[in-house]
Structure 1
């Protein structure tokens, strides 16, 4: 399935941004080059989570597992361009499904394990998949029953259970591996065809699908390896499930390019995380600022594990402090790369190579691809950036003026899934993606080569690195019979970045508690991580002349009431 216009694909290939290499080509190259080398390692606590013993796979073993899984999917009647909604934890099975889809031309749409019927049903309606792929249970939750409740009423969506039993279980034992080669000969996969549809939240009330093709992902590997300073000898630790660009683009694709070892981790547990670094000799990983800060404030825990192999960490999703980057460098000789990115492919990198000073690295990002500003490296070759006045649309070229970040280039997606109206506002007249994030040119002279992050113009709440749409929560909460109006805001938190707070205006004579609200949301089958953690009661919400909730003012009201 091609979603990028042919003219754009031809232009990007002529520029050398895109080529003809697919994700499966990357896998096959690694298998040929290092068949006996260790490739993939399960979370060491996997058995306690889903009852399956942890596995470690060489590249040759991984190739066999991918072929067997692809053959089993073909035997279930799945065909090229069919879409799969996939809910899997961060185990070798998730990587295998991703690679099997790439091998035979399926389109994979992954969702987080916390999603329940409310979120998954919406995504199924938007994606219209041929199958929903999940596991029997995880962390005590019955995903098998959830899968049946979603698919029993949908004749066109089959349920595929990994490591399960019964009619829905994927039959790997009978899979005909030879069928995969024959199928590929008759159904070749072009690198410009869609491989994934990930989901992102913003000001809109429901998630938006972000399609990305093989070219996007292959280039993403080039960019991350270059920007993060990864090397072929690196051992990578992935602490996040394969549901977004942070995990797939930040670690899985670089792993394929480097042909090294990838260690998986799920759910996030700081002691297990440190144990894996020590046991597997991990040299590069990613972690949110809250985790990095908490570790520095608990030196006794750090001293329990030998993390001497760790040389670099990528971090983002919230502002980093100069203290954090400086302390990791000065005390532990570990470099932190400040990454500002999104599923849409808009990424800025402040790395030791670009910004050697740790204090500046916390605040500044190179103006990669900006007119008149030269930077070395692959990321600067394939990215274009500029700032635009949000009110007038005029380009900002002077220091100290706040503007919206606009990005273009080979890493940027081509448009949201089946959202023509949204796409009209997502891109400007020159084809730049409007990120909704506010930056300014950092200063004059040498500082003119850098952007400084100012804030988000979008209203998303980022809790523990996961985006939560306040508009979606607002729509759900006002459905409570005791509530007249309600709105949610993010409140700053040292551990998670932000926490969800809600202001409610009850109906006359009614009272509502936080436990009342969370119980009601649970009945609506809402993912637990979206549940408000704080509630305040107000007479009415602050609104502007257009009747839109003024969230900045509401946040001040909520904070005052919580103090």
Structure 2
């Protein structure tokens, strides 16, 4: 694969000179852990359905990463080859990333909710050579799905199945015999180690412009975010990080996989968010920090209150992905005794803003935080003129953690010659530099921290034989933040209901989480003189109950 991270070189000298790029990789960090704390517990991974728990010390983690790295090399994976990984929060996910980094391969994390439609595009666009999937997860047969897809993906040479029983199983191909002891292992493990500006992660956005975009990150861009993030939150080697958010999101990947290794701390993974199991894990493992979207915090606070099981070790809960209701912050502080930290960020740059631990609690529900070191924010009008505090406009970010660009789509990088990235969000800054996201110029709905690709779903609805016009708009939800409502105008003489829309979208292989959960049928849409649907009017009607 030829990568084109064109946004890296222009800012390298300044980023290094300012001390934001440290020119270290995850290999350096893992090797340092083995040297300084080899027998410290590095990773505990629990499967919620079975209760099975796997643990690794740092010595064991590095040895298994080397083993899997040699196994990948035996499959023909080399420098800049893409290894796609559609796994839940299992230990194999962590090991696969570390193994890829040993041999210069690029990890492409894929959400486990993706089905044929999303996977076909991402695997083809990213030219994945290897795809690692679970045999089954939450009742779905992944092996069957991807085996059927493989003939249409000429670059995909190998499918590796975790919990598989055949020759293509993860154990047989990657984690079985001690391949790290082979005569040529040391050469394999050192020959192509990536540098700090090489692409190590390819992660897809949710397709807000009609198709997903492949975000390229390096060690320097990710670590330039993780270091000040951990410093602001006062995290260190004594912390235990619980991660129940998917590691195929930047939340899980950067702060549940990479950060604990960089801190010489311990990580605890949970593959399915079940609040009572989460509470038990926090208590049993002494978890001190976690990061997740608002529904996780709602569930945790409610279940701690109902069960009477306190979580005294949990000092900090960072909540991002949607605004946090003030009542929830107050309840969580009272019930959990935990500091609630609001934050905002993107796949393209990680966490950009978060409140400080010493800030008043109201900052968590009135703002989305202030910039981390190495981050600048600017709110501008439609002509690009900077706006004063208190006035909403387009949000631009210039950060040491900004991505290297979109794979094969440099024309979409949305970054000007001075390094300002157009986030596509609307926001306002207060006099102290705290930001509040006020809307999104991108047409996207965030449901429980998961972006719904509105354009893609609308495109499919227009193919429904009974639908003449369609729009997907958000409506507020106390637990998930937002849900998706389909507003449709049926064709003359046709009728439509929500179950038939859901069945149609299922037939198009759309992920369940992207389905609209409410339907409104209208005779006409509010529109501009040119015929463009005025979605803001639909949102207002939904909010006011007049639609």
TM-score interval (norm. to shorter)? over 0.9
> Residue in 1 aligned with 2:242?
237
Alignment of 1:46-195 (within 5 A): 47=50, 53-158=52-157, 159-170=159-170, 171=173, 172-174=175-177, 176-177=179-180, 178=182, 179-195=184-200
Return the alpha-carbon distance in structure 1 between the equivalents of residues 370 and 45 of structure 2: 38
Q: Return the alpha-carbon distance in structure 1 between the equivalents of residues 253 and 267 of structure 2.
A: 12
Shift of 1:224: 1.8
Deviation of 1:458 (Å) = 2.3
| Alignment partner, residue 28 of structure 1 | 31
Asked if 1:440 is matched to 2:428, the reply is yes
**174 and 332 in structure 1: CA distance in 2 versus 1, 3 angstrom threshold:** closer
Please say if residues 467 and 488 of structure 2, whose CA atoms lie closer than 8 Å, have aligned partners that are also in contact: yes
Offset of residue 399 of structure 1: 2.6
Shift of 1:221: 2.0
1:535 pairs with one of 512, 519, 534: 519
Give, in whole Å, the separation in 1 of the partners of 2:494 and 2:151: 39
Distance 2:61 2:432 in 1: 47
> Which residue of 1 is the match for residue 340 of structure 2?
336
How many residues of Structure 1 are paired with residues of Structure 2 in the alignment? 538
Q: What's the TM-score once normalised by structure 2's chain length?
A: 0.93
3-state SS of paired residue (2:50): helix
Name 1:375's counterpart in structure 2.
none
Whether 1:415 and 2:411 are equivalent positions in the alignment is no
The question of whether the paired residues in 1 share the 8 Å contact of 2:281 and 2:287 is answered with yes
Q: Distance in 2 between matches of 1:524 and 1:267?
A: 26
Q: Does the 8 A contact of 2:251 with 2:292 survive in 1?
A: no
CA apart distance, 1:78:
1.0
Q: Which residue of 2 aligns with 1:376?
A: none
How many Å separate the matches in 1 of 2:138 and 2:546? 33
CA distance in structure 2 between the partners assigned to 1:299 and 1:12 by the alignment: 44
2:44 counterpart of 1:41: yes
* 2:380 alignment partner, one of 388, 405, 414: 388
1:13 shift after superposition: 1.9
Equivalent in the alignment of 1:372: none
Map of 2:416 onto structure 1: 428
Q: 2:18 maps to which residue?
A: 15
Cα distance between partner residues in 1 of 2:199 and 2:283 = 37
Query: How far apart are residue 15 of structure 1 and its match?
Result: 2.4
Contact kept in structure 1, 2:117 and 2:508, CA below 8 Å:
yes
Find out whether 1:509 has 2:493 as its counterpart: yes
Q: Secondary structure at the match of 2:523?
A: coil
Per-residue deviation, 1:311: 0.8
Q: Is contact 1:45-1:54 (8 Å) kept?
A: no
Question: Which consecutive unaligned segments of at least 5 residues does structure 2 have?
Answer: none
Helix, strand or coil at the partner of 1:132: strand
Q: CA 1:367 to 1:335, structure 2 compared with 1: closer, same or farther past 3 Å? A: closer
1:346, distance to aligned residue in structure 2 (A)? 5.5
Q: 2:464 aligns with which of 480, 488, 491?
A: 480
1:261 aligns with 2:253: no
Indicate the RMSD between aligned Cα atoms, in angstroms.
Answer: 2.1
Structure 1 residue 2 displacement after superposition: 6.1
Distance 1:94 1:546 in 2: 49
Instruction: Indicate if the aligned counterparts of 2:68 and 2:99 stay in contact, CA closer than 8 A.
Output: yes
- Residue 407 to residue 181, structure 1, CA distance change in 2 (3 Å): same
Residues 14-59 of structure 1: per-residue CA shift (max 9 Å, x gap): 32221321111111111221111111111242537xxxx4311111
State the shift of 1:418 in Å: 1.3
Q: Secondary structure at the match of 1:134?
A: strand
1:162–1:169 CA contact under 8 A, matched in 2: yes
Q: TM-score, normalised by structure 1?
A: 0.90
Q: 1:365 to 1:287 in 2, by over 3 A?
A: closer
User: Aligned partners of 1:448 and 1:29: how far apart in 2?
Assistant: 39
| CA positional deviation for 1:489 | 0.8
Residues 455-510 of structure 1: CA distance to partner in whole angstroms, max 9, x if unpaired? 32322100011011211110111111111121111110001111111011111111
Change (3 A) 1:562 1:283: farther
Q: Does the residue aligned with 2:390 lie in a helix, a strand or coil? A: coil
Give, in angstroms, the shift of residue 408 of structure 1: 1.0
Partner of 2:394: 404
- For structure 1, list consecutive stretches of 5 or more residues without a partner in the other structure: 369-378
Secondary structure at the residue paired with 2:67? helix
Summarize deviations over 1:198-224 as a string: whole Å, max 9, x none: 121363122221110111122222022
SS in 1 for 2:113: coil
User: How far, CA to CA, are the matches of 1:351 and 1:450 in structure 2?
Assistant: 8
Tell me: CA distance 1:152–1:333, structure 2 relative to 1, closer, same or farther (3 Å): same
Write the deviation string for residues 270-304 of structure 1: whole angstroms up to 9, x where unpaired: 1111111111111111232233234445564251x
SS in 2 for 1:491: strand
Residue 561 and residue 441 in structure 1: after superposition, are their counterparts in 2 closer, same or farther (change >3 A)? closer
